[in-house]
A = this chain, B = another copy of it.
Amino acid sequence: MSPAQERISDAVAARRAGHSLDGPFYTDRDFFDFDIEAVFARQWIFVAVEADLPEPGDRTTVEFGPYSVIVLRDDDEGLRAFHNVCRHRGARLLDPGQASGGNLVCGYHKWTYATDGSLLHAPSQAADFDRSCFVLKPVHVRGVGGLVFICLAERPPADFDEVASRIEPYLLPHDLRRTRVAARTELVEDGNWKLVMENNRECYHCDGHPELLRTFFPTYGYTEADVPARLRPAHERYLRADAEMRATYTGLGLPYGLIEELAERPTGFRIQRDALDLAGESFTPDGTAACRRRLGDLPTPRLGHLSLHMQPNAWFHVVGDHAITFSVLPLTPDKTLLRTTWLVHPEAEEGVDYDRDTLLKVWTATNEQDARLVARAQQGVGGPAYEPGPYAPGEYQVEAFCAWYLARLSEELQR
């Protein structure tokens, strides 16, 4: 073990269960680099939606830690991913962002790659130059119900197939592959990627989200017995809405039961279909749909929301009229990119079928509120006076995330 790994190993061993992680996990450069190695270069991570790449030749890039990866639709309409580095002298092939086109041509010396990564042309080489030795380095990629995941590891976690088979039945009725990207925001948060994930794993802080709490029940994460008195009225509404939703889901044949396997497997996840408050259709001030066209052309807008968490870096909400995907991409120990994407029916027209501001309002506000909380947490845990504190029962998913994360570090330390 390197000295850095010894420090990490000691910190993993010293962690007190049920308490927030120690400061270096959030602030130390060595810990961050190890996170990339042990988590982001090992696990399947969510990076795009198939709607980003509708046509052959469509491409997008994703950047995290020291990596830049090209995700593209190849000439055979399959998904492909490659490291975004020319095999000649290492120049970046594509600028960040989305584009369309044919072959991938390096801007430096015009080395030209096909969409399958093969090197088609390298000008002016010596006679013994073998193009087949210089294909773009491939990255594993796969779509799951319209969501695109990549894995940098040579051998990806073996349990992803099973997880995919369990979440796809929840996703398929919404036909996310047949959607259009209505909007995307990129928010750089001033905090470690784990603080961004932990923030999302509990609603203990939801009082800070007035827009979200119009429709999102604030009792999320509470057990029946723990619901505090001030939340009892909301809880009563929840019980009624929940009963109604279950009947709707059953009638439509939509799977809805909670599966929560956050800490016990490499590909930790949680999925559940759940009621929303007020009109119960969407994340809007009155709970009515933001878009007239429904995803998957389902027969009713009142579907609550399908909520999916995927470790290490994503969460998703699907309502009757749109879907929102959230991708968490670590930049530095204290900077994280949150990329949020709104998907609507492919034929939904802005200004006709939906108002863009209404569609984006709740989660844009919620993201910004969360970013402020994450920044405050980063500031505090960065100082010597910080000492890990205890999670409340309603933060059990944060604890599960931490346990999952530490298991990944332990695995990597034992390689």
Residues on A lying within 8 angstroms of B by beta carbon are: 20, 23, 41, 66-68, 83-93, 107-110, 122-126, 129, 134, 137, 198, 204-205, 207-208, 222, 226, 228, 372-373, 376-377, 379-394
Contacts and interface: CB of A to CB of B under 8 A. Distances in A.
A108 B385 contact: no
Contacts of A393: 124-126
A123 B394 CA distance: 10
Contacts of A388: 90
A388 B88 CA distance: 7
Nearest to A198: B89
Contacts of A383: 66-68, 83, 85
Contact of A380 (B91, B204, B384): B91
Contacts of A205: 108-109
Contacts of A107: 208, 372-373, 376
A392 B83 contact: no
27 contacts: A66-B382, A66-B383, A66-B384, A67-B384, A68-B379, A68-B385, A85-B386, A87-B387, A87-B389, A90-B377, A90-B380, A90-B388, A91-B376, A91-B377, A92-B376, A92-B377, A92-B379, A107-B373, A108-B205, A108-B376, A109-B204, A122-B392, A123-B228, A124-B204, A124-B226, A129-B390, A137-B385
A126 B222 CA distance: 12
Contacts of A382: 66
A23 B90 CA distance: 9
Contacts of A90: 20, 23, 377, 380-381, 386-389
Given A204-B109, A385-B67, A380 B92 contact: yes
